[in-house]
Amino acid sequence: MNIAIILSGGVGNRMGADVPKQYILVDNQPVVSYCLDTFTSNQNVDMVGVVVAEEWEDFVKEQVEKLETVKTVFFARPGATRQFSIFNGLKAARQQGADDSDVVIIHDAARPLVSHELIDRCIEGCKQADGVMPAIPVKDTTYFSKDGKHIHSLLDRSCLWAGQAPEAFRFGKYLKAHEEMSTEELMKIVGSTELAFKSGLNCVMTEGDPMNFKITTPDDLMNFQQIISKKR
């Protein structure tokens, strides 16, 4: 199976909104519904898990019901960090029957414009690798600073790539990597592929999508709203 896990447990402090960013309504539906629609309708995704806080689970279930999907949708609780939330999602997927040979696709609810093509590329890449991360080249000149005030070195832009989600992994190897990593190490993990790379898994990159941006700031939300309004 190919199992998607949507991370929807964040609080979105940088948005300054009354509700988490993934639940803000855009064109009469919450942000999270856009990627849920894509994953539940993707022909290569067999099952979808949503990591969501208890107080928002009923709300998300209502959105899933509106999609009228025939696929199994299961739920897990957020952890102390993003990576612990992923770990909880993996354990919930195992309870749903996930096998070591399956592929798990990790995605952020705050990336609503994920495409079927990108999902399919990540899944396809796992036929040859343990993990796949979509990435786009860094276009701006990039500097390294230890204190945020002084330039300490200039980085080679041609070697720099910005990672995106969804990221896909061989389920058994990725779950085992979580189980074998200490709590202290897990707390330091920032990105999904970072853990896989540090655990010695064979990770590769695939072509990302500039439209697959993450809603983090009010400007990001406004950009998404404008894109949706043009699609009407």
* Bridge pairing between strands 131-137 and 203-207: parallel
pLDDT digits (tens, 9 = 90+) for 9-63: 876 556 666 888 999 999 999 999 999 999 999 999 999 999 999 999 999 999 9
Q: Is 214 within 8 Å of 110 (Cβ atoms)?
A: yes
> What are the extents of the domains in the chain?
2-231
> What pLDDT is attached to residue 16?
60
Place of tokens 């200039």: 154
Q: What whole-number distance in Å separates Cα of residue 125 and Cα of residue 119?
A: 10
Q: What whole-number distance in Å separates Cα of residue 154 and Cα of residue 187?
A: 29
Nearest to 175, CA basis, from 199, 154, 155, 157: 199
Helix/strand/coil (H/E/C) assignment for every residue in the chain: CEEEEEEECCCCHHHCCCCCHHHCEECCEEHHHHHHHHHHHCCCCCEEEEEECHHHHHHHHHHHHHHCCCCEEEEECCCCCHHHHHHHHHHHHHHCCCCCCCEEEEEECCCCCCCHHHHHHHHHHCCCCCEEEEEEECCCCCEECCCCCCCCEECCHHHCEEECCCEEEEHHHHHHHHHHCCHHHHHHCCCHHHHHHHCCCCEEEEECCCCCCCCCCHHHHHHHHHHHHHHC
> What pLDDT is attached to residue 13?
59
Neighbours of 158 (CB within 10 A): 8
Roughly how many angstroms between the first and final C-alpha of the chain, as a whole number?
Answer: 34
The low-confidence residues of the chain, meaning pLDDT below 70, are: 11-17
Sign of CA dihedral 64, 48, 108, 232: negative
Angle (CA) 145-151-157 rounded to 5° is: 80
> What pLDDT is attached to residue 3?
98
Q: For helices 171-180 and 82-95, what crossing angle results, to 10°?
A: 130
Homologous superfamily, domain 2-231 = Spore Coat Polysaccharide Biosynthesis Protein SpsA; Chain A (3.90.550.10)
> What pLDDT is attached to residue 19?
86
Flag whether the pTM goes above 0.85: yes
